[in-house]
Amino acid sequence: MARALTIDIEGIGRVLLEKSKRSKYLNIFVMPFKGVRVAIPYGISFDEAEGYVRSKVDWIKKHIARIKKVEAEYFSVAKEVSVIDEREARIGLAQRVKELASRHGFSYGKLYIRCQRTRWGSCSHNNNLSLNIKLMSIPRELCEYVILHELMHTRIKNHGKRFWAQLDRIVDGAKSLDKQLRRYNLELL
């Protein structure tokens, strides 16, 4: 029995139908640069899955349009993003953290620099900082915003009004920078 089948659907293009042991329900995924994939539980046939996909054509088209915007933005952002040398990035980030912490009177525990898929940074309860190495590939002001954001979490462990007020004292327009940061999709960098 085949585990995968590719079909063409007018208005959508190629759709990968794939049997999945982990899937309990039919799931449609519209992914940047990969297209449309349907995870099919073993109790459902390819014909049933195809019928389901055809019934969701409008939904899929809407999501394809949104993904095309993400892809276009990725290419416009990719022109701004620099290629990073991992060793230099680790050293550079560590220096920036040390400098910004000193300048603004923050103290932190350990510093971890990793290649993460979903987060720019985090701060643990013990005030250990974890930063994404990809910070070195985005504009400096956004990188410093993330570092200061995480350093602020060494004092305030939530995103309440007090947190944003304190962050605004050291970073002009913190919420605006937070919005700018969202242009850079970590999974695509």
Instruction: Average the pLDDT over 100-113 and give the result.
Output: 96
Q: What share of the chain is helix, strand, coil (3-state, %, to 5)?
A: 50, 20, 35
What is the per-residue pLDDT across 62-78, written as a single tens digit (0 to 9) for each?
Answer: 988 888 877 676 665 55
What is the per-residue pLDDT across 118-162, written as a single tens digit (0 to 9) for each?
Answer: 899 999 999 999 999 989 888 899 999 999 999 999 999 999 999
Interacting residues of 98 by C-beta distance below 8 A, sequence separation 6+ = none
